[in-house]
């Protein structure tokens, strides 16, 4: 973490609006324009930004603060999000028990549609090359017959965002401004503002523009923030304004996501309510494949692989795509590499056997362990998509009157399903920091106030992001060799040492 400097704020100008506001920027700093003043302005209405707003509104100490949130997407659409009970969004996250308890604490969990949420109690993780395996079975922690403990809770991001918006709406309109369909056109510090009123010389001044201007909303608004929070994702404008650099790299991998229907397991797991998440590392293919449970025998797929494999998999017709997913949990690396070279079966001139035939034939000659997911039988239309995977870590989370949370501060490999959990842990910490400041008469934007948040979150985020990065690198070494040996030893040893495993289980729970 680099030392925190006090004079780092630089004007931010949105690259896409540059032409529209160039000259106007000076005008925004003129003495005659009205300027709305807020205690906290949050840029970004994803899970982190909405989580912060819901947390501030739910605490009696901070509920009267004047707060604003700026989001370029349509928040009304997000609030009205609705899908058939048999359909699931492809953007799904696993929430750790500590995230769930934070959501309960701020009153947001009650607004989740829990019929669309799935707990799981067992996690099977294994190395597709060496076969070494680790089993995290929380159901044995208490009794195998009742109240199995939850490893994590799967929820669609859209369900979570809608719940947070409903929680915020419940808190009333007083002192709250939601700038939906609006973007931050520029951020400047208030150095050349009029001297009357409070001294805003060191406050960030934002110019907010509607993304689709209408006659009534076309005029940009200027707002001043005692504390400006960047919850604005990987390309954070707030981070640019604060001139906070990030370290990191692109993994050269894509995460393929899809919503799948699974066959009923031949014999239901015991106890019948127990659900399992599966992850198999595929060193020869560029990353792990994971299948995480959703209600009604559905599952969400996250398959990290090379961009070439991702493009190939996305180009396959549904039966071939399903065969590849099922093969990835069953066949060995050589068979999988071969199947990834088969022509797409949409090619009518091809005489090669289909992916389904190859899987059926090769599975007969493979020793398949029993702890694998039931076969995927269908893909929900329109849910196969992919995202580039990246690692980023901001050099610092705070500077005078600025705090970064969520993906604006850190982006990590999704193999442990921790990104959103870390973001909500940031939010829990920052909201407590703000509460502390308010109850002790401190300035919420002062660096001394904000350092409490930074100290609490920087190292835990670095630790988890670094561990995911290390796992990604270790499991990308195919073939025989010391790393492969260490890998198999690693999982094998961890699995046989209850105390070490217990420690890992606690970390996965987010405690």
Among 398, 392, 391, 328, residue whose Cα is nearest residue 358: 328
What is the CA 348 to chain-centroid distance, rounded?
Answer: 40
Tell whether residue 233 is a contact of ligand FAD (CB under 6 A). Answer: yes
Q: Which of 406, 445, 465, 510 binds ligand FAD (CB under 6 A)?
A: 406
What residues between 57 and 76 interact with ligand FAD by CB under 6 A? 70-73
- Cα–Cα distance, 298 to 161 (Å, whole number): 21
Q: How many residues form the binding site for ligand FAD (CB under 6 A)?
A: 32
Question: In the bound complex, what is the minimum distance in angstroms from residue 479's beta carbon to ligand FAD?
Answer: 27
Cite the beta strand spans of 157-242 per DSSP E: 176-179, 182-189, 204-210, 221-230
- d(CA 203, CA 16) in angstroms, rounded, equals 24
Report which secondary-structure segment, H or E, holds 368: none
| Candidate residues 423, 445, 465, 510; the one interacting with ligand FAD per rule CB under 6 A | 423
* DSSP codes of every residue in 373-394: PPPEEEE-TT--EEEEEEEEEE
- Say whether residue 90 binds ligand FAD (CB under 6 A): no
Angle at Cα 138 formed by Cα 137 and Cα 142, nearest 5°? 125
Residue 89 · residue 156 · CB < 8 Å: yes
The correct pick among 8, 24, 246, 387 for binding ligand FAD (CB under 6 A) is: 387
Residue 420, interface with ligand FAD (CB under 6 A)?
yes
> Minimum Å distance from CB 133 to ligand FAD?
21
Q: Which of 257, 258, 437, 471 binds ligand FAD (CB under 6 A)?
A: 257
Stretch that binds ligand FAD, among 276-284, 396-404, 412-420, 456-464 (CB under 6 A): 412-420
78 binds ligand FAD (CB under 6 A): no
Among 17, 41, 48, 223, binds ligand FAD (CB under 6 A): 48
Asked whether the bond before 366 is cis by omega within 30 degrees of 0, the reply is no
With binding defined as CB under 6 A, does residue 232 bind ligand FAD? yes
State which of positions 26-45 bind ligand FAD (CB under 6 A). 43-45
- Whether 362 and 331 have beta carbons less than 8 Å apart is answered as yes
* Residue among 224 and 302 whose Cβ is closer to ligand FAD: 302
Q: Contact between 184 and ligand FAD (CB under 6 A)? A: yes
Contact partners, residue 157, CB within 8 Å, separation at least 6: 47, 89, 91, 92, 93, 420
Residue 93 interacts with ligand FAD (CB under 6 A): yes or no: yes
The residues of the shown chain that bind ligand FAD, judged by CB under 6 A, are 43-49, 70-73, 93-94, 183-184, 231-233, 237, 255, 257, 302, 387, 406-407, 414, 417-421, 423
């Amino acid at each position: 973490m680099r030392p925190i400097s006090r004079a780092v704020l630089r004007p931010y100008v949105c690259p896409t609006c540059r032409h529209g506001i160039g000259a106007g920027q000076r005008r925004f700093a003129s003495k005659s324009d009205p300027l709305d003043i807020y205690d906290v302005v949050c840029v970004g209405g994803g899970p982190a930004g909405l989580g912060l707003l819901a947390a501030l509104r739910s605490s009696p100490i901070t509920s009267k603060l004047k707060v604003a949130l700026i989001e370029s997407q349509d928040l009304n659409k997000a609030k009205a999000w609705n899908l058939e009970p048999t359909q699931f969004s492809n953007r799904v996250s696993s929430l750790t028990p500590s995230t769930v308890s934070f959501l309960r604490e701020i009153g947001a969990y009650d607004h989740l549609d829990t019929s669309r949420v799935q707990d799981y109690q067992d996690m099977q993780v294994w190395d597709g090359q060496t076969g070494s395996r680790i089993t995290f079975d929380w159901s044995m922690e208490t009794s195998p017959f009742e109240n199995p403990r939850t490893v994590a809770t799967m929820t669609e991001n859209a369900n979570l965002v809608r719940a947070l918006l409903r929680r915020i709406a419940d808190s009333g309109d007083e002192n709250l401004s939601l700038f939906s369909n609006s973007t931050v056109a520029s951020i400047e510090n208030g150095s050349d503002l009029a001297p009357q009123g409070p001294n805003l010389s060191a406050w960030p001044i934002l110019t907010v523009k509607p993304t689709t201007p209408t006659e009534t909303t076309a005029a940009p608004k200027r707002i001043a923030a005692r504390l400006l929070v960047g919850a604005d994702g990987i390309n954070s404008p707030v981070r640019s304004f604060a001139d906070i650099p990030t370290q990191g790299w692109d993994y050269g991998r894509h995460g393929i996501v899809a919503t799948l229907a699974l066959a009923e397991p031949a014999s239901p797991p015991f106890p019948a309510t127990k659900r399992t998440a599966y992850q198999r590392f595929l060193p020869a293919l560029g990353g792990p494949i994971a299948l995480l449970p959703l209600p009604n025998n559905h599952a969400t797929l996250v398959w990290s692989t090379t961009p070439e494999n991702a493009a190939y998999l996305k180009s396959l017709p549904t039966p071939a795509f399903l065969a590849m997913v099922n093969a990835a949990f069953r066949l060995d690396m050589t068979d999988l590499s071969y199947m990834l070279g088969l022509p797409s079966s949409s090619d009518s001139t091809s005489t090669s056997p289909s992916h389904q035939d190859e899987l059926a034939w090769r599975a007969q000659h493979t020793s398949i362990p029993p702890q694998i997911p039931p076969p995927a039988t269908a893909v929900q239309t329109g849910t196969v998509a992919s995202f580039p995977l990246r690692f980023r870590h901001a050099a610092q989370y705070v500077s005078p009157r600025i705090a970064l949370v969520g993906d604006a501060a850190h982006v990590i490999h999704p193999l442990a399903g921790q990104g959103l959990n870390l973001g909500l842990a940031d939010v829990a910490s920052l909201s407590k920091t703000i509460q502390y400041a308010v109850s002790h008469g401190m300035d919420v934007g002062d660096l001394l106030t904000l350092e409490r948040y930074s100290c609490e979150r920087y190292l835990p985020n670095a630790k988890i992001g670094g561990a995911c990065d290390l796992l990604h690198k270790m499991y990308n070494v195919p073939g025989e060799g010391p790393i492969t040996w260490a890998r198999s030893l690693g999982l094998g040893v961890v699995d046989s040492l209850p105390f070490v495993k217990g420690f890992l289980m606690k970390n996965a729970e987010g405690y």
